[in-house]
Structure 1
């Protein structure tokens, strides 16, 4: 569940290198935690990811720590698909897919920029120490030079996603 959300955040820059082109393949490790609500327990996942493409068309592979692919999300235009061992499900967009999987919608269009250490140009942002705030999320880039990005949404339920990208 939460693994999907974290994976979407996992495309941060690599150690000691410039941010990759927008269509680069990014891979690494991630973790995601969603706090409990009155109706749902807290959720926490971790694993590996491979993110390819752009916000307009791409693919995300989610794997166990041992490398077995657990799920594959694909998207193009206004459609998204999630393939698991239980089959494939179509969604109208990635936001809806993340809402179904996580119980929370993630700002997928913005994530591609956030993971590259920059605010999404689609709306205003505000610089804060160590990163920036945008769309109700705080993006922590304090360890960006080491390949780490953390995104935190304080609004309930709080969501924390941490990603470490493998050097390319």
Structure 2
């Protein structure tokens, strides 16, 4: 089984949610649980992942840790301008940017820079957005904030491959 197929769900979560030597300040941490579903497409089977996560920093410089509910590390990524390091149980890989990581894992780039704002329940300021009854749409994604008061955010992209990310933020996030 190829690395893409074996670790695609964990790497995809790294991509949505998404090495620097200095850790970002603790105040920049967003943590919780996520469930990712990538629909079957072009002969590829549906992929799913459930994980806890800690996302820190920002789109330019940061880190993401994905763990199982029992605390086992699934994947860890660190990034800074020009370099993204990804470590999994199969070793480490280096990419030039977050888009390259997502292209390798999913076959296309995903809007990782926007994720930091989306998880803070606001549109990313670098692209136009449209308000909806439940939140907003941006970059081809629907950001559903209807249950944000309870810690829930749902991100959905309808175009193939359809992707749904359900995030349950920790109370401190």
Change (3 A) 1:56 1:10: closer
CA RMSD, 1 decimal:
2.0
Unaligned runs of 5+ in 1: 12-20
The within-5 A match list for 1:60-139 is 60-139=64-143
Query: Structure 1 runs of 4+ off > 4 angstroms?
Result: 7-11
Unaligned runs of 5+ in 2: 1-7, 19-24
Aligned pair count reads 159
Indicate the SS of the match to 1:2.
helix
Q: What TM-score results when the alignment is normalised by the length of structure 1?
A: 0.87
2: CA distance, partners of 1:146 / 1:65: 20
1: CA distance, partners of 2:10 / 2:89: 15
1: CA distance, partners of 2:28 / 2:11: 19
1: CA distance, partners of 2:28 / 2:43: 39
Indicate the SS of the match to 2:122.
coil
Alpha carbons 1:72, 1:82 under 8 Å: kept: yes
The within-5 A match list for 1:1-168 is 1-6=8-13, 9=16, 24-168=28-172
Which has the higher relative contact order, 1 or 2, with Cα contacts under 8 A spaced 6 or more apart?
A: 1
